[in-house]
Amino acid sequence: MGFLYDDVVLLRPPEKEGDPTVITVNCPDKTGLGCDLCRIMLFFGLSVVRVDMSTDGKWCYIVLWVLGKPTTRWSLMKKRMVAACPSITSASGISYYRSDLQPQKPSDVFLLKFCCNDRKGLLHDVTQVLSELELTIKKVKVSTTPDGSVMDLFFITDTRELLHTKSRQEDTYRHLKEALKDAIITFDIQMVGPEIAACSQSSSFLPSAIAEHDFSSKKDGESNGSLSNTVSVSVDNSLSAAHTLLQIICPDHKGLLYDIMRTLKDYNIQISYGRCTSKRSNCEMDLFIVQSDGKKIIDPAKHHALCSRLKMELTRPLRVAVVSRGPDTELLVANPVELSGKGRPLVFHDITLALSMLNVCIFSAEIGRHIIDGREWEVYRVLLDEGDCLSVPRRKIEEGVWKMLMGWDQ
């Protein structure tokens, strides 16, 4: 009997206002599937209140109870989740991953370039439009000219793989025009060559402005001691003959499940069974896990490494600091990149939103990838307007951006 592709992801609307929407995922398993699904839910602004998951190593079944927003695009989110699941063929009763047979080619990179008149909240409005259009920002360079205009250079990829078409480019311009009104002066989209795309993806050197400020994990727990003390991560091998039990208790934050799943994915750890609940701003999770070879984790050194890494990621999933850049003030945000090359979505969106709410203008902004403390990070460097920085304390800017990224702004 065949398996209907539409049944891979099912949505059940809430029975009454305030109840969660139930998402059911039923598909072949792969290491990192949970991470990929969590990244999608984070992009669409969903809050996860409960999770049940199980797998036999070949097939997985996941049930998620989530809270959305009035603007949540449920049908599009379902489409993206289905695309993230391994493809199925039922011929001869054999299921396999189509991605194993046809490796995905990297997405084409486009340069979105436009000039416009400056105003408060401009960069956030642009970022909001790009996210709604599913255009992913890979790199950005924004600068303010002496005459008060802004030159924006966005290196972007298109989730829908249609940006090479005239209709998609015209649709992008139309949405930006609606958001920016008469502020747009010039506008252009063009595909960039592989050498430019490669330069926009990563950089091997460490900017001195970042090197001077310690973004390493070693001091992270020290600077966030109060939060670190509320995070508990432990392992137990006594409850199952075949699995290691990973138990996590910690305060809830936006993207919590994603932070856990991306860490397990980087360690190539598979979840056989798991349950997670979030109540009153706290999260409790029990995960029965195995290594990539299907065996439980016995080595105490691996226990310590996994627990330490998870505690660090849950204490400080991103790095945020306001530092001096010569006579100017710069906001630095570092977002960890998965080994797969992907990272937390909408970070730049949240940064610009937080600054807009604080009435702090952006003079210039850059996004690039760098190696920090032996790991690849996506680093956001935002040079703040000098006049605004004099009126808003640095500590308030740092806390405002941090709370927005963690979902603690309300």
The residues spanned by each domain of the chain are 1-91, 109-136+144-191, 229-315, 318-409
In whole angstroms, give the CA distance from residue 369 to residue 75: 32
CA-to-CA separations, 107 to 36, 68, 141, 191, 373, in angstroms, rounded: 17, 29, 20, 11, 28
For domain 109-136+144-191, give the fold.
Alpha-Beta Plaits (3.30.70)
What pLDDT does residue 356 have?
93
What pLDDT does residue 213 have?
53
202-208: long-range pairs with CB below 8 Å, 24+: 202/368, 202/369, 202/370, 202/376, 203/368, 203/369, 203/370, 204/370, 204/371, 205/370, 206/370, 206/371, 206/372, 207/370, 207/379, 207/381
CATH of domain 229-315: 3.30.70.260
Q: Evaluate whether the domain defined by 318-409 bears CATH number 3.30.70.
A: yes
* Helix, strand, coil share (%) of the chain residues, nearest 5: 35, 35, 35
What pLDDT does residue 143 have?
87
What pLDDT does residue 48 have?
96
In whole angstroms, give the CA distance from residue 180 to residue 385: 20
What pLDDT does residue 324 have?
86
In sign, the C-alpha dihedral spanning 259, 34, 107, 72 is: negative
- Count of alpha carbons within 13 angstroms of residue 293, beta-carbon side: 4
What pLDDT does residue 1 have?
41
In terms of Cα–Cα distance, which of 20, 12, 27, 72 is closest to 48? 20
What pLDDT does residue 202 have?
46
In whole angstroms, give the CA distance from residue 36 to residue 85: 9
Residue type at 284 in one-letter notation: E
In terms of Cα–Cα distance, which of 356, 345, 365 is closest to 401? 356
C-beta of residue 335 within 8 angstroms of C-beta of residue 343: yes
C-beta of residue 354 within 8 angstroms of C-beta of residue 362: no
* C-alpha torsion 202→206→208→211, nearest 10: 130
In whole angstroms, give the CA distance from residue 372 to residue 378: 10
What pLDDT does residue 297 have?
96
Residue 373 falls in which region: left (phi positive, over 0), alpha (psi -120 to 50) or beta = left
| Residue 300 CB contacts under 8 Å (≥ 6 apart), including other chains | none
- Placement of tokens 């049908």 in the chain: 75
Q: What CATH class has 1-91?
A: alpha beta
What is the reported pTM?
Answer: 0.88
Burial class of residue 249, CB neighbours in 10 A (0-12, 13-18, 19+): middle
What pLDDT does residue 332 have?
94
Which residues in the chain land under pLDDT 70? 1-6, 89-104, 194-228, 387-390, 410
In whole angstroms, give the CA distance from residue 140 to residue 16: 42
| Residue 104 CB contacts under 8 Å (≥ 6 apart), including other chains | none
Q: Is the fold of 109-136+144-191 the same as that of 229-315?
A: yes
In whole angstroms, give the CA distance from residue 168 to residue 175: 11
